[in-house]
Amino acid sequence: MMKRRQLLKQMSALPLIGGLFATTEVTAAVWPGPVTRRDYYKELGLRTFINAAGTYTSLTGCLMRESAIDAYNYATRQYVALDELQDKVGARLAELIGCEAATVTAGAASAITLGTAGVLSGMDSEKASRIPTDLSGMKTEVIMQKSHVIGYAHAIKNCGVKVIEIETRKELEKAINDQTAMLWFLNANNFKGKIQYKEFVEVGKKYNIPMMIDAAADVPPVENLWKYTDMGFDLACFSGGKGLRGPQSCGLLLGRKDLIAAARLSAPPRGDTVGRGMKVNKEEILAMLMAVENYLTRDHESDWKLWESQIKLIADAAATVDGVETEIHVPDIANHVPSLRIRWDNKKVKMTPNEARQALRNGHPSIETVGGDESIDITTWMMNPGEERIVASSIQKILSKKS
Ligand X SMILES: *Cc1c(COP(=O)(O)O)cnc(C)c1O
225 is a contact residue toward ligand X (CB under 6 A): no
Burial of 171 (0-12, 13-18, 19+ CB in 10 A): middle
Query: Which range, of 66-74, 198-206, 209-217, 291-299, touches ligand X by CB under 6 A?
Result: 209-217
Query: Which range, of 103-111, 197-205, 265-273, 281-289, touches ligand X by CB under 6 A?
Result: 103-111
Query: Which range, of 38-46, 104-112, 134-142, 219-227, touches ligand X by CB under 6 A?
Result: 104-112
* Residues 176 to 195 in contact with ligand X, rule: CB under 6 A: 188
**Distance of alpha carbon 154 from alpha carbon 235, whole angstroms:** 17
53 is a contact residue toward ligand X (CB under 6 A): no
Residue facing ligand X at closest CB distance: 107
What does DSSP say about strands 324-329 and 251-255: parallel, antiparallel, or unpaired? unpaired
109 is a contact residue toward ligand X (CB under 6 A): yes
253 is a contact residue toward ligand X (CB under 6 A): no
- Binding ligand X (rule: CB under 6 A), the pick from 6, 57, 309, 358 is 57
**Distance of alpha carbon 297 from alpha carbon 377, whole angstroms:** 29
Whether the CA torsion 75, 81, 83, 85 is positive or negative: it is negative
Cβ distance to ligand X smaller for residue 105 or 394: 105
- Binding ligand X (rule: CB under 6 A), the pick from 239, 273, 281, 297 is 239
Contact present, 285 and 102 (Cβ < 8 Å):
no
Contact present, 174 and 168 (Cβ < 8 Å):
no
Query: Which range, of 75-83, 106-114, 266-274, 314-322, touches ligand X by CB under 6 A?
Result: 106-114
Cβ distance to ligand X smaller for residue 249 or 310: 249
Exposure b/e, 97-134, CB count within 10 A at least 16 = b: bbbebbbbbbbbbbbbbbbbbbbbbeeeeebbbbbeee
Instruction: Determine the straight-line distance between the first and last CA of the chain, rounded to whole angstroms.
Output: 56
* Residues 119 to 158 in contact with ligand X, rule: CB under 6 A: 152
Least separation in angstroms between residue 305's CB and ligand X is 25
Query: Which range, of 91-99, 107-115, 173-181, 300-308, touches ligand X by CB under 6 A?
Result: 107-115
- Binding ligand X (rule: CB under 6 A), the pick from 99, 138, 161, 217 is 217
274 is a contact residue toward ligand X (CB under 6 A): no
Cβ distance to ligand X smaller for residue 104 or 135: 104
- Binding ligand X (rule: CB under 6 A), the pick from 144, 216, 296, 391 is 216
**Distance of alpha carbon 115 from alpha carbon 40, whole angstroms:** 37
Least separation in angstroms between residue 55's CB and ligand X is 7
Least separation in angstroms between residue 217's CB and ligand X is 4
Least separation in angstroms between residue 345's CB and ligand X is 33
Least separation in angstroms between residue 81's CB and ligand X is 25
107 is a contact residue toward ligand X (CB under 6 A): yes
Least separation in angstroms between residue 53's CB and ligand X is 13
**Distance of alpha carbon 277 from alpha carbon 106, whole angstroms:** 9
User: For residue 121, what are the contacts with CB-CB under 8 A and spacing of at least 6?
Assistant: 127, 128, 131, 138, 262, 265, 266
The site that binds ligand X (CB under 6 A) totals a number of residues, namely: 12
Q: How far is CA 173 from the centre of its chain?
A: 31
Cβ distance to ligand X smaller for residue 97 or 360: 97
**Distance of alpha carbon 35 from alpha carbon 370, whole angstroms:** 32
Could you list the residues that contact ligand X (CB under 6 A)? 57, 107-109, 152, 188, 214, 216-217, 239, 241, 251
